[in-house]
Amino acid sequence: MTYYAPAKVNIFLKITGRRGDYHTLRSRFVRLKEPVDTIHFIPSRSTGRTFRWRASAPLPETNTLTRAYELLLEVNREKVERFFDTHTLFLDKAIPTGAGLGGGSSDAATFLKACNEEIGLKLSTKKLAAIGEKIGADVPFFIYDYPSANVEGIGEIIHPFDEEPPALSLVTPPVHCDTAKVYGYYRTHLLSRARPDAGKKWLQTPSRELLATLSPEEANDLYLPAKVLYPELAPPKAGTWFLSGSGSTFFQVAL
């Protein structure tokens, strides 16, 4: 049993304010064809209904997958424990971490959808998105699996955008950007710049047109915080390169 977890980029990302401990935003998310993580459910011997998982790259003991598993236990503990009594999860990582591509969020969303199908939980897409929201702001986007969508609030307001997303070239420097630190810098030093209507005029503009008219700094409110915290973070010298999310991946329309 194999399931695929795609990456995403933020064509633009504007901070619109705060809601409790969270930042509110307005953004265009575009799903990528690659890189892609792969989730496998491997049949294994019973070991007393313990959630077992392995990954091709180092992950913290508590991660988006373990969080997703815990939330599914609240839905139907009996079915979920019975399934993982005889299956081991293996995650094959291709999406780099700390790269602004949403790998951890996509892994969680794919895991939730895969469990829903394999275990027969019969959860609606809306319910899965509500569970995903508890894991991370980007998870609902991957639950809905739109090629392109406008995302608002803390990530829970998602409207599909009717376009053929442009083919993109990606460059990911060997820099791990800590999302919490990047947002923390913005909150401490730049939050006064946040406007409730930021990015609103771009919601109906195709992604290709936005990339042809915006500067990287104008498109992404996290560009400056990422550059300050990680001065070694630098785009390729040729062309105009945009930063995805909190970094470190740069992208442009493929030539």
Token pair 């009594």 in the structure block, residue: 85
For residue 138, indicate whether it is catalytic: yes
Q: What 8-state DSSP symbol labels residue 200?
A: G
Annotated catalytic residue within 8, 14, 93, 227: 8
Q: Is the CB of residue 227 less than 8 Å from the CB of residue 233? A: yes
Annotated catalytic residue within 37, 93, 113, 138: 138
For residue 181, indicate whether it is catalytic: no
The secondary structure of the chain, three-state, reads CEEEEEEEEEEEEEEEEEECCEEEEEEEEEEEEEEEEEEEEEECCCCCCCCCEEECCCCCCCCHHHHHHHHHHHHHHHHHHHHHHCEEEEEECCCCCCCCCCHHHHHHHHHHHHHHHHHCCCCCHHHHHHHHHCCCCCHHHHHHCCCEEEEEECCCEEEECCCCCCCEEEECCCCCCCHHHHHHHHHHHCHHHCCCCCCHHHCCCCHHHHHHHCCHHHHECCHHHHHHHCCCCCCCCCCCCEECCCCCCEEEECC
| Token pair recorded at residue 20 | 């409790």
Catalytically active residues, by annotation: 8, 138
